[in-house]
Amino acid sequence: MADALLRSLGGRTILLRLPTPAQPGVNGEQLGLTTPSYEDIPLSPAVFRRVRPEMERGKVNRYELLISAASIQAQLGLLQLPSADALFAMAVGVFVDQELMLIESAAEAEMFGQPYLYRLLLEGPQNQIL
């Protein structure tokens, strides 16, 4: 039901950016000589909206992202992670409309002990400072 609601509210696909695992036995990896690489994982449906901006100089805008728990649970199985908190903790950020935004906090909404929706609070890109 949450998926249908997110789609009806203009559901979109966002990209969760994760670092790729280090290659064991590669000397350059151990010395930090290689360029870090990332993997972008598509998640959908999701709804993105601006949270009321804080009207202070030097502060970035904040945004809210609602993501279907079904898409998060599918990724947890593929990545063999124990929880959504672990997934969000290892994420570098979220790409929305080709802008990388940092994850400030994550919370889940649940019913009968099962999550149906994840709410991420995002920090806007630095180029959007008020």
Report the C-alpha gap between 82 and 68 in whole angstroms: 18
pLDDT of residue 55: 61
Q: What is the pLDDT of residues 45-59, one digit of tens each?
A: 988 888 866 666 667
Q: Which of 32-41, 64-73, 75-84 has the lowest mean pLDDT?
A: 32-41
- Within 10 angstroms of residue 93's Cβ, the number of other Cβ atoms is 18
Which amino acid appears at position 20 of this protein?
T
Confidence band of 31 (pLDDT split at 50, 70, 90): low
HSE-up of 81 (CA within 13 Å, CB side)? 17
Confidence band of 129 (pLDDT split at 50, 70, 90): very low
- What is the DSSP secondary structure assignment for residue 125, as one 8-state letter? P
- Is the pLDDT at 29 greater than 70? The verdict is no
- Is the pLDDT at 130 greater than 50? The verdict is no
- Is the pLDDT at 65 greater than 80? The verdict is yes
| Over residues 73-98, mean pLDDT | 90
The pLDDT mean for the chain works out to 82
CA distances from 59 to 19, 79, 120 (A): 27, 34, 18
Q: Which helix (H) or strand (E) holds 129?
A: none
